[in-house]
A and B are shown apart, each in its own frame.
Chain A
Amino acid sequence: MRYIVTSVKTFAWICLLAPLAGCVLNALLYRVARGRAAGVIGTLFLFVSFAAAIAAFFSLQDLGAEERHVRAIAWDLANTVGVDAQLGLLVDPLSVFMALVVSGVSALIHLYSVAYMDSDRGYSRFFSYLNFFVFSMLLLVLAGNFLLLIVGWAFVGAASYLLISFWYRRETATKAGIKAFVINVLGDVGLVLGTFFIFRHTGSLDFLNTFGQAGEVFSRNDGDLVAGLVLLLLGAFAKSAQVPLHTWLPDAMEGPTPVSALIHAATMVTAGVYLIARMWPLFELAPAAAAVGAIIGTVTLFIAATIALTQTDLKRVIAYSTMSQIGYMVLAVSSGAYVAGLFHLMTHALFKALLFMAAGSVIAAMAGVQNLDRMGGFRRAMPFTFGCFVVGGLALAGVPPFSGFFSKDEILAYVAAREDWHVVLAVVGYVAAFLTAVYTFRMIFRAFLGEPVEEARELEAGHLHHVDVHTNPVSGEVEDTDVGFPGADHHIAEREMPMKVAMALLAVGAAVAGFLQIPDVTEVVHDFLEPTFAGSVYFEDLHPSGGLTALGLIVGTVLALGGIALAHLIWVRRPGTAERIRERMVPLYRLSLNKWYFDELIDLVVVRPARHLGGVAQSVVERVIIDGGVTGGASGAVRAGSAAVRAVQTGFLRYYVALIVIGLVVVAAYFLLQS
């Protein structure tokens, strides 16, 4: 018994620290590492981490269900006056589940990057950052208390910033990095304040202690608890790109494609989902806060799906689909469908990473161009990429028996089973599922079917398209690649073994992962996560009826296939339909194309007032009050006083002597008069 607990702890620490070791090693060896050495080091450490996660998983399964909450505490950081900050991990089924997803998908994305980033001058830097990101993410999911959670949360934001602005000569990339960082810091502040609201009452930072006494400390819908949880949700929304804090995610596509696959699809953006699932004992005590999460999740999944319909940048379409899918997860975990949400998190990590990798391969074949309008007919030139893209697309659209089908329909069935107003959310979810199928296959049909573009024909002839002058995919400006990035050469999956292996493994996962949890047949994920959610009202009692499940599965299938058929009709069978629809519905098209004007809205509501306030502060507060009143007044008084005192200092020695004598006389006179 004891030794199993010890091995669980050991494996958890190895899983966490291996990526950190890779990060440090890559950072130190950047002068020495030649060729693909840095990539190999980074990938190896990630596989070590993944292996440790698997080992931790099996060790944990050896423990009894009641004992699957292992605290791995290295030491106390502070243990005074009611603060119990420890450097401690919590290893339970939820954290191991997350660690498996994070380290597994990350390992494959590292493998992919080994080839994809090959000709980039920042190769070592890239892998160092990427390893650092995985370390931060594992710290976030394995943290055993609020303190480490916040640390991991902030580290992840920093890693995201570093990787978005990886090509720091690109102005658009640095701006996108700053935007992501600022919005993420807003979420960090929410997380810290929310933690404080909860800590004030429970007096413990440790998760298990907090959850253990939450029921006694807080009454149902306690004001402080709801406030604290809404602040935590603010953190979750910023990190998981939920409305209205989502505008950084599409811009984050400025980073290299593996970064988009890893951070902005598979792992970091799901941190908010993990947070809500982790805090389930608190959210069940505060249904008001949970309702906020469910509604925002639904709004996000719908808005993002409508935006994805009209975007022309390949990566941005996938980014909006990520936003939409995370909306589903947030809806699920906020509605009590924890397992469904986490299951979708896992399948989404697989198929979305796959889609990004396939998109990266297409972008490489286009020599860096990301515009869908310029793509077409890559099916014969890139059969492998096409196959992977279709598998990912089918999983995303929710076509049986691919993974996304089971996970998404489970979410919607559970949400519908909540009844009341949750049914409305489920209906919106189904509408968005239809849109998902349409936009996913719009992307596939436009990039792979139709008349082959010049690049595709060139590739069919056996030559990978190459440009001498790189241009920014967003602004179209000519890029300065003197510093060696973005790399001069491009790498496609058809020609690079590491990319092929990574994509093939993910494609298998995306195709079959759904079988882990088929309604009424298998319950693998549910059973595994049971110890974490033991005692939850929804976990135990919320089950969609057999009829509802069957209805959901049928509706899901019909919607997915219908969406694909519609996309086929619009973009393949009758080209030009899209233009006709666009002309009929100009306002809707504009709304979607301009991303519901969220950037403009935030600019109007936040940025401009802040800038105006700053201007006023500078011209009035700074100039008049600070310079004029405070510092001006003080320095004026000192200057006047010193001018008066300075006049006394004539420099005449006798004058000083006279003053001394006069002083003596006055003192003497005083004593004489006294006596």
Chain B
Amino acid sequence: MSIGWYLAISALVFCIGAGGVLTRRNPLVILLCLELMLNAANLALVAFSRMHGNGDGQIFAIIVMVVAACEVTVGLGVIVAMFRRRLPIDVDELRALQG
């Protein structure tokens, strides 16, 4: 099987994730979509690793997973904090960064 299929799947998942991040307003869903994007990247890394026949890509995939775990931890913590302070769970409402 050629590498192209793997990459096509990876690109598709990545675009779905990116589209989710761009369009959804619920931070929880945005986090899930981010996971999709990261995992799309993982898929591409593992595919390339297989193509080259060494383990470097696999190692990177594991590191990305660690990063993803950290990110989810922080992200969920922030969301819980928002919920506790009774802030709206809606990223369009949270625009204190406006200049």
Q: Which residues of A contact B (CB under 8 A)?
A: 645-654, 657-658, 661
Contacts and interface: CB of A to CB of B under 8 A. Distances in A.
B97 interface: yes
Contacts, number: 34
Contacts of B97: 649, 651
Nearest to A664: B18
B74 to A, nearest CB: 15
16 contacts: A645-B99, A646-B99, A647-B99, A648-B99, A649-B98, A650-B98, A651-B96, A651-B97, A653-B30, A654-B23, A654-B92, A657-B18, A657-B21, A657-B22, A661-B18, A661-B22
Given A661-B18, A661-B22, A654 B99 contact: no
Contact of A649 (B22, B23, B94, B99): B99
Interface in B11-49: 18, 21-23, 30
Contacts of A649: 97-99
A653 B91 contact: yes
B89 to A, nearest CB: 13
Contacts of A648: 99
A646 B23 CA distance: 23
- List of 8 A-B pairs having minimum Cβ-Cβ separation, nearest first: A651-B95, A649-B99, A651-B98, A646-B99, A653-B91, A651-B97, A654-B22, A657-B21
A646 B97 CA distance: 10
B36 to A, nearest CB: 14
Contacts of A657: 18, 21-22
A658 B22 contact: yes
B75 to A, nearest CB: 12
Contacts of A645: 99
Nearest to A656: B97
Given A654-B23, A657-B18, 20 more contacts: A645-B99, A646-B99, A647-B99, A649-B98, A649-B99, A650-B95, A650-B98, A651-B96, A651-B97, A651-B98, A651-B99, A652-B91, A652-B92, A653-B30, A653-B91, A653-B92, A654-B21, A654-B91, A654-B92, A657-B22
Nearest to B95: A651
A78 to B, nearest CB: 54
A27 to B, nearest CB: 59
A30 B18 CA distance: 82
A158 to B, nearest CB: 55
B44 to A, nearest CB: 13
B22 to A, nearest CB: 5
B78 to A, nearest CB: 12
Contacts of B22: 654, 657-658, 661
A639 to B, nearest CB: 13
Interface string B68-86: 0000000000000000000
B15 to A, nearest CB: 10
Contacts of A658: 22
Contacts of B98: 649-651
Nearest to A661: B18
Contacts of A646: 99
B96 to A, nearest CB: 7
Contacts of B23: 654
A653 B95 CA distance: 8
Nearest to B91: A653
A362 B98 CA distance: 83
Q: Max chain A CB contacts within 10 Å: which of B22, B94, B97, B99?
A: B99
Nearest to B34: A657
B61 to A, nearest CB: 20
B20 to A, nearest CB: 10
